[in-house]
Amino acid sequence: MVGLLKRYRELILVAVLLVLPLGVYFAHAKHPSERSRLDRVILALTGPIEKGITWVIGGTLGAWNGYVDLRRARERAIALQQEVNLLRLDRMELLRVKEESARLRKLLGFAQEAPDRRVLGGRVIGVRLDPKGLQLITLDRGADDGIAPMTPVVVAHGVVGRVHTTTASTADVLLLSDRNSSIAVRVDRSRARANVRGTGSPDFCRLEYALRSDDMIEGDLLVTSGTDGIFPPGLVVGQLTGLKRSGQGLYQRADVKPAVDVTKLEEVLVLASSERRAEEPPQAAMAPLSTGAAAGAKP
């Protein structure tokens, strides 16, 4: 027996290396386990590499854009000044509407529904839109900054996804385009409810559980409904396209064009809970950003 084992030891080792991972996969495929301590240590090693490369390339591009590529700066400055003037007018109008809304809310006795959230800015340092695995981006903020799994991640014009896992200094964000991502939404116009599920392709998602009788038309804006307990209500998710209403069945089918182009993300906002964890040292607090500041996809 020992002789047999010795004779075929290479074959046995290869067979074990084949069978063991497959067994682990089948055991955990339907109920994924948490990452082990070893996994976290190894993943933490990748953070500095990604940060370093981002720093070098970002610095080089920043220097180019800031000092070298100034040829059209004057024309852009004039155009931007005009835009600022228009935006100032818009802002005045919005402030007026906001004050009016606040007065009406007070009159109607509306309570503030959403809990207070801290808005943290994060820079994208890694992109893993792997068709074989999950659609993830890596942020340069992690558990030390108070980011926890399931925290919503957005940019100024829409939903990006939610935090999947964290290390001390980085966080992996599961994008809304991932096939495991499902977000509860409403049609902004008719308030009809449905879910938006990713397809694995960054450029389109799928509408699920939209009742056939619900009022939906192509081009409708979809916003988060807040009923999934992850995203606060009212965040833009995408736009309805390719609506198909068959003569039978309970649901209508449609594609959703995400509001955010996930392939062009540079900075994002993490809507962290306002409650700081007990074990977290107070000096780990990060500089909160105001909503809409320094966040957005590259145009």
Partner 1 sequence: MRPICAFVFALVLTSVQAALLRYLGGGAVSLALALPIIVYLGLQAGNVDGAVGAAGVGYVIDLMAGGPKGLMTFLAVALFLVSRVAGAALSVQGMAGFAVLSGAGTALYGLAALAFTRAIAPVESAPAYSLVWRVLVEAVLTGALSPLVLIAMRRLEGLYVREEQGLLR
Which residues would be at the binding site for partner 1 (CB under 8 A)? 10-11, 13-14, 17-18, 21-30, 32-33, 35, 39, 42-43, 45-46, 49-50, 53-54, 57, 61, 124-138, 164-165, 172, 174, 179-180, 182, 197, 199-202, 208, 262-265
Instruction: Output 152 or 198, the one with its CB closest to partner 1.
Output: 198
Instruction: Output 27 or 78, the one with its CB closest to partner 1.
Output: 27
The least CB distance from residue 57 to partner 1, in Å, is 6
Instruction: Output 96 or 128, the one with its CB closest to partner 1.
Output: 128
The single-letter DSSP state of residue 283 is G
The least CB distance from residue 296 to partner 1, in Å, is 14
Q: Give the tokens for residue 5.
A: 């084992």
Chain centroid, CA 239 distance in Å: 17
Instruction: Output 18 or 94, the one with its CB closest to partner 1.
Output: 18
The least CB distance from residue 17 to partner 1, in Å, is 5
- By C-alpha distance, which of 184, 178, 191, 76 is closest to 134? 178
The least CB distance from residue 62 to partner 1, in Å, is 12
Cβ atoms of 203 and 257 within 8 Å: the answer is: yes
- By C-alpha distance, which of 172, 225, 173 is closest to 196? 225
- By C-alpha distance, which of 8, 273, 291 is closest to 117? 273
10 Å CB burial of residue 260 (0-12, 13-18, 19+) is: buried
Instruction: Output 186 or 197, the one with its CB closest to partner 1.
Output: 197
HSE, CB side, 13 Å, CA atoms: give it for residue 51. 14
The least CB distance from residue 107 to partner 1, in Å, is 43
